[in-house]
Structure 1
Amino acid sequence: MNRAQLIAAMKAITDRAQAAGRDFTAAEQAELKAHMDAVKAIDGSKAIADGVAAFLGDSDAGTLDADAAPAPSAAGVSRGKAIVAQKSRPVGDWSAAFAKQHPGVAEGKAFTLPSSATFTVPAPTPIVAAAAPVGHVLDALTVIELDRGNGANYLRQAQRENAAQPVAPKALKPLKNVEMERVDAPARTIAVVLDGIPRQDIADYPDLTTFLDYELKADVLNELDHQILLGDGTGENFEGIFYTDGVLVQDYAVDPSATIRRAMARVEAKGYANTALLIGPEDFAGVELERDGAGGQYRGNVAPARGRNVWGVPTIAIPTMPAGLAVVGDLRQAILWMREQMEVRATDVAGEDFRRNQYMFRAELRAAFGIPVPPALSLIKLNNTVTLPGA
């Protein structure tokens, strides 16, 4: 049997058991396993043929269609199999990773998901999202892969002073004092579960899996933002930026844009560059809609929202940022240690899911967070009534 016939046979066995309201018999289980092994063998042969075609330089070969009619034998073409163009759709990094590891699920072509399917998303690159109007704190941080242990142990600067001076020959050199404190940053798991997704919906709506993928990722990343900003260090929470000792604080002065500029100056006075401004979307709009002079032009750029900045500093609108507050400074000094990358798992064997023909999805990541150099960052009060978290 070819791949399509094998899948049809498995579907027939499944439909028969469902119609009878019973589990698979031992014989049916054995038959299903044999069919699934055969499908895997066919898929493996396709992957090998793709590799051979690539090795022979047939870049336009595409993928082997196991169900297509035989084609004439030629160099770079597997005998008895036709070469067809590969179907794909433009998706993001996470969705691309999912599609690569589970193409049948991602494209919504398979009649069912595997009993347990897992895909892992790539670790985000630590680049300031200067061109992204709305993003995540993660876009501005330094991300380090943590390949062992249950967290990170680092030294945090408790005090910094400049002591260098001109020195005469043979004279004693000035002594610099640097105080460091040892900090343990345990890796925390951030997770969410989505259950009760009917198998029929997965089969009937090709883009449903992509949508659920996005929703689960967004939920986890939003909570990661919240933890990086507002984790209070208790229980399973990070010690976030707003709760880290030594971070500068800029009180409200004149108007939001002037306050932001003064905060930037304080960071620069400490010897650090301002690499990013993190601000809530509505507060960002308020800054851009400020008028210069006596009701003159808007301060913000009315052009398309690319390369957004305030006072020349790349700006990221963070939905989880508390209203009236912002953070600016050298965000590269804030580190996220990624212990386990984002993983999304789908299964139908939890509880009664198998009997009810439905799936449960779980998304999670595990990471630690810390700021080795707190004075490189400044908290900002954008009005004269807001209070800092934990104050």
Structure 2
Amino acid sequence: MNKFEQLKAKALENAKAARLLAEKADSENRELTTAEKSAFDAAMKAADDFVKRAKEAKADAEILAAAKALADEIGGAPGKKAAGPVGRKAWGRAGVKSVRAHMGTADGSKALVSGSVTMANPVSPGVAALGAAPLSVLALLLNANSADELAADPYNGVEINTRPRYEDDKQLADTLMYGDGGGSNSFSYLRQTVRDNKAAPVADGATKPTSVYTIEEIEGRYRVLAHISEPLPQRFFHDDATLGQFLGDEMGYGLQRAVEAQALSGDGTGENFTGLLNISGVHVQAWATDLLTTLRKAVTTLQGVGTAPTALVLNPVDAERVDLLREGVDSGKYLIGDPAAEAARTLWTIPRVTSVAVAAGTAVLGDWDRVNLLTRQEATLHVDTSGALFDKNQVKFRVEGRFGLEVKQPDAFVEIDIAEPAA
């Protein structure tokens, strides 16, 4: 049963319920009771709503058929052989493969007007396998309870094990056109704001101490993160078969970086996230003597409140400072490890993650299981050649997704000032 038939059946079901109420009262030669009148009105309203949605579904089905025909013309949705890990480069490559193939076809093919491809999500819930070190802030933020493989992608540290799907994919099309039936643009979660442990020995008959673990409900909403490309001549795609892949790669990478930056430093104004570092309750560690001393004191801060840090995030500039620390000012052995060997990726067994999402001079240490990035709509690559673009024989790409952030325990994190004071 398709969507139209399902909605039509629901409309008939509610209309029948309303009719039975009316017939019952009529057979008993009386008016509807207050409760019956309320139920009658609700059933009629529901029936009317389902009729309207059924009409929309019928129209949408026609649109879907046209979209499917377009997808077939440009290569169709990838089959089972396309499934598998998709990293940053493969993310863009998979999304533009059919578009590129179409643009490079011989004369006589129908022109691509517009279309959308749901990409392998750059903020997929795949995280590091147990025992594997996280390679990006994105990996830290995605705290799904799974051990999906996280391959060492030099561009973003995240590889995704879901294949891209086209809009004519039935399940995706139903979501895009009818919704998933249980979602909204808002979400809520519980955040711990106080953690005061009073557990102690208690004598017989004495009053037990009260520990305080204050929890508050936080209301949030999803934000759209997106960007578009400048118009490019379609002939570029005919002349260079790698251009579509390149553009998809770059735009996917840009979206990932924007998500990381918002999750860490969003200021909460307008459509910005309220990022981790702008939430009350995060510890602050000031500069103390030298770089390693400052970082170690931050570890002590978390250990003192019973938190085991899972990763330290450093800007590339500061990661270089750590790697180049030597026993002498400009001589002696490197403290972190031999540059000729594989670079050490931990400090005091805590994994180090390098990211431009955190500003130079600042580091973030924490238990990253206490923060979670939510995906409401997966990242989607849209390609358009319609309207004014058609007149000029140009192409535009758009990549967008909808995401939210949960910070469940702010005091599981430390913002560290590692900017060395001027002499």
Provide the TM-score with structure 1 as the length reference: 0.70
What is the deviation of 1:187?
Answer: 0.7
Whichever structure has more helix as a proportion of its residues is 2
Residue 372, structure 1, aligned to residue 366, structure 2 = no
Structure 1 residue 348 corresponds to structure 2 residue 385: yes
> Is contact 2:364–2:415 with CA below 8 Å preserved after alignment?
yes
Aligned-partner Cα distance in 2 for 1:43–1:138: 31
Shift of residue 357, structure 1, vs aligned partner: 1.2
Give the partner amino acid of 2:124.
P
| 2:92 paired with 1:92 | no
Write the letter of the residue equivalent to 2:303: E
Q: Indicate the residue corresponding to 1:118 in structure 2.
A: 117
Aligned to 1:364, the other structure's residue is in SS state: strand
Q: Secondary structure at the residue paired with 1:121?
A: coil
Aligned to 1:176: 211
Identity among equivalent pairs (%): 30
Tell me if structure 2 keeps the 8 A contact 1:126–1:141: no
* 1:1-391 matched pairs, under 5 angstroms: 40=72, 92-93=86-87, 96=90, 103-105=97-99, 110-111=104-105, 113=112, 115-122=114-121, 123-125=123-125, 127=127, 136-143=136-143, 148-292=183-327, 295-301=331-337, 302-303=339-340, 308-349=345-386, 351-385=387-421
Note the residue ranges of structure 2 that are not aligned, 5 or more in a row: 1-64, 106-110, 146-179
Q: In the superposition, relative to structure 1, how do residues 356 and 381 fare at CA in structure 2: closer, same or farther (>3 Å)?
A: same
Structure 2: distance between partners of 1:250 and 1:344:
41
Deviates more, 1:150-159 or 1:234-243: 150-159
User: Deviation string for 1:17-55 (max 9, x for gaps)?
Assistant: xxxxxxxxxxxxxxxx99x969949978x99xx88xxxx
CA deviation vs aligned residue, 1:276-306 (integer Å, no higher than 9, x gap): 1111001110011111367421122324556
- Report deviation, 1:180: 2.2
Query: CA offset at residue 233 of structure 1?
Result: 0.9
The structure in which a higher percent of residues are strand is 1
Give the partner amino acid of 1:140: L
Matched-pair contact (CA < 8 Å) for 1:247–1:377? yes
Task: Tell me the number of residue pairs that the alignment of Structure 1 and Structure 2 aligns.
Answer: 312
Question: Aligned equivalents of 1:277 and 1:109: distance in 2?
Answer: 45
TM-score of the pair, normalised by structure 2? 0.65
**Within 2, Cα distance between the matches of 1:252 and 1:165?**
35
- AA partner of residue 327 (structure 1): V
